Structure 1
Amino acid sequence: MARTAGSHSDITGPRVLDAALRLFAQHGYAAVSMRQIARDVGVQAGALYNYTPDKQTLLLDLMRRHMEALLQERQSRKGQGTPLERLEDFTRFHIRYHLQRPDEVFIAYMELRNLTPENFTAVEELRRQYEDELEEILRDGVAAGLFASSDLRVATMAVIAMLTGVTTWYRPAGRLSVDEVEGIYWDMVRKAVAV
């Protein structure tokens, strides 16, 4: 099938991903059909296969795009300093970055179960890179006598889960600003790992 008049691959390809993101976040991966995605983009259903081989690849591409953008942004901010300063920076970065992308966060966590084992492994490798930075910060803090942890991996996962949870309840029109939320979460994270 031909593309809809006026569509262009450099424009339509990203629109396919954006439509899949929006629809998967709203209805769940399993409930969304390729036909719905095509309708949202404004192309014929068969034309989607010019941009992706299948729905599973769309899900993988969304998760990979999210994780690669997160890692790239984090790499540009990675700084030096004491373990406490690095932990504060990681905490504030994680909250601010993720609050701006609630749909991506929802899909990255809630739709992992829908990945094939091979695709799950690919996404897990990217997630592990991000988690490793926090684990290193915590390890350095324990070595410096600033933090206490009987299991660094569990502490890492607990901190990330706590920080990511903010995307489920925070509303920009609510009573707290992003700065206030960052401050509250930083205080909780600091106390959670303190000696």
Structure 2
Amino acid sequence: MARKQGSHSDITGPKVRDAALRLIARHGYAAVSMRQIAAEVGIQAGALYNYTPDKQTLLFDLMKGHMTDLLCALDDADLKGTALARLEGFTRFHIQFHLPKPDQVFVSYMELRNLSEENFAAIEVMRRQYEDALESILRAGEAEGVFAIADTRVTTMALIAMLTGIGNWYRAGGRLKTDTITAIYWDMVRRSVTA
């Protein structure tokens, strides 16, 4: 069958990734077929293989893209100052980066179990880089005598889980504005670690 008009790799490739992201976030990786993704994009199922070798690679590419964007944005945020100032910056950064991306967050955190061992290991390295950035802030705060933390690794994971969890309940246009929610969360983070 001939290629559909307007089906070009620079247009269709991103459409394939966007459709896969939406469908996986809505139904879960295991429930989504390549045929469903193709139908969502409006191409033949066989044409998907021009853009990805298989569904596993597509999932990995979605997660890797999210983590790459996250690490680059964190680097660009250039958090400086005291540990307390850096922790506030990290908190605000995490919320502002993740809140507009509920599908990416869901897929990146909830579909890890569906990665192959090799792909999981690659994503885990990237996730560890992000976690280490927060943990180094917590260690600096301990060294400065402003944080009292029983275990920096456990606290790192708990804080990231708490901050990421906002996406599970937050809805734009709700009772509180994003800035207010961010301020409330920053206050909770600060209270949980300060001496």
TM-score by length of 1: 0.98
Q: Structure 2: which amino acid aligns with 1:14?
A: P
Q: 2:103 corresponds to which residue?
A: 103
Q: C-alpha separation between the residues in 2 aligned to 1:144 and 1:28?
A: 44
SS at match of 1:5: coil
Instruction: Tell me how far 1:28 sits from its aligned partner.
Output: 0.7
What is the 5 A alignment of 1:77-156? 77-156=77-156
1:164 aligns with 2:164: yes
Q: 1:22 corresponds to which residue?
A: 22
Q: Structure 1: which amino acid aligns with 2:179?
A: D
1:41 aligns with 2:48: no
1:179 aligns with 2:179: yes
Q: C-alpha separation between the residues in 2 aligned to 1:10 and 1:129?
A: 30
Q: 2:193 corresponds to which residue?
A: 193
What is the 5 A alignment of 1:66-81? 66-81=66-81
Q: Deviations over 1:33-86 (max 9, x none)?
A: 000000111110000001000000010000000010011111101221000000
Instruction: Tell me how far 1:5 sits from its aligned partner.
Output: 2.4
Q: Structure 2: which amino acid aligns with 1:175?
A: R
- Percent of counterpart pairs with the same letter? 67
1:9 aligns with 2:9: yes
Structure 1: 4+ residue segments shifted above 2 A: none
Kept in 1, the 8 Å contact 2:98–2:164? The answer is yes
Q: Structure 2: which amino acid aligns with 1:171?
A: R
Kept in 1, the 8 Å contact 2:23–2:37? The answer is yes
Q: Deviations over 1:126-166 (max 9, x none)?
A: 11111111000000000000001121111100110010000
Q: C-alpha separation between the residues in 1 aligned to 2:94 and 2:162?
A: 11
Kept in 2, the 8 Å contact 1:13–1:51? The answer is yes
Q: C-alpha separation between the residues in 2 aligned to 1:99 and 1:164?
A: 8
Kept in 1, the 8 Å contact 2:79–2:90? The answer is no
Q: C-alpha separation between the residues in 2 aligned to 1:10 and 1:85?
A: 41
SS at match of 1:146: coil
Q: C-alpha separation between the residues in 2 aligned to 1:129 and 1:67?
A: 10
Kept in 1, the 8 Å contact 2:59–2:115? The answer is yes
Kept in 2, the 8 Å contact 1:2–1:47? The answer is no
Instruction: Tell me how far 1:2 sits from its aligned partner.
Output: 4.5
Q: Unpaired runs of 5+ in structure 2? A: none
Kept in 2, the 8 Å contact 1:146–1:194? The answer is yes
Q: Structure 2: which amino acid aligns with 1:161?
A: A
SS at match of 1:136: helix
Q: Unpaired runs of 5+ in structure 1? A: none
SS at match of 1:172: coil
